[in-house]
Amino acid sequence: MGMFYTIDILGTIAFAISGVLVAINKKMDLFGILIIAFVTAVGGGTLRDLLIGNTPVSWMQDMNYTYSILAASVLAIVFKSKINYLRTSLFLFDTIGIGLYTLVGIEKGILAGLHPIICIALGTITASFGGVIRDILCNEIPVIFRKEIYATACILGGTAYFLLSELPIKNNVAFIIAAVMVVVIRLLAVKFKIALPSIYGNKSGPGNGF
């Protein structure tokens, strides 16, 4: 579990920074920045733990999550002037976060003895819903509800994880490959403007994202 714990903390840091960048972009005060960082980092994991009956939820049992969020938030605030491309940085940290959290959520589902499809759903919830809460609080249409490839990347990466698990390779290797796949799919989708079909024709829908 050491590797999964480390990746969980890294995902928490990535999402916390993502939340800070959104809050700064919205010109929130210090309290608002910390709140947005916190809900972005642990919102999805909290929902996941509640669904599988893991209470108190993870971040309440382990203060390292809170310390990581606070440290990441302070560093992001202090070095915000060094971030030349705020939108690009937000996208990068958000993408890293969904890659890491998708597989953490899947692993939690496996440990709970759930069906692979439910595990993939849990991974998607873990990766996506912190960002959903963040965007709602910041008065934005959540990325997961736009036409962009976001939750789809989580689902494809999660599916790849279970397929790789059937091959004669170490579980940790399958985990890393699947997490990287989520990140790569998301990056390629944005770079080449790959999107899910829109019911609104060729017109750009509301809230085309980063």
Q: Answer yes or no: is 203 within a domain.
A: no
**Structure confidence at residue 162 (pLDDT):** 96
Which residue in 17, 200, 10, 168 sits closest to 101, CA to CA?
10
Instruction: Give me the residues paired with residue 148 across strands.
Output: 195
CB 103, CB 125: distance < 8 Å:
no
Q: Answer yes or no: is 210 within a domain.
A: no
Q: Answer yes or no: is 153 within a domain.
A: yes
**Structure confidence at residue 207 (pLDDT):** 45
Q: Answer yes or no: is 73 within a domain.
A: yes
Q: Answer yes or no: is 199 within a domain.
A: no
Q: Answer yes or no: is 149 within a domain.
A: yes
Count of structural domains within the chain: 1
Q: Answer yes or no: is 204 within a domain.
A: no
What is the per-residue pLDDT across 19-32, written as a single tens digit (0 to 9) for each? 998 999 899 999 99
Q: How far apart are CA 25 and CA 1, in angstroms?
A: 36
In angstroms, what is the C-alpha Rg of the chain? 17
**Structure confidence at residue 164 (pLDDT):** 94
Q: How far is CA 95 from the centre of its chain?
A: 7
Contacts for 143 with CB less than 8 Å, ≥ 6 apart: 94, 131, 135, 150, 209
Residues spanned by the domain of 152: 2-191
**Structure confidence at residue 90 (pLDDT):** 73
Flag residues of the chain having pLDDT under 50: 204-210
Q: Answer yes or no: is 206 within a domain.
A: no
**Structure confidence at residue 194 (pLDDT):** 81
**Structure confidence at residue 205 (pLDDT):** 46
From residue 115, how far is each of 5, 89, 109, 182, 191 by CA, in Å? Answer: 22, 35, 8, 21, 34
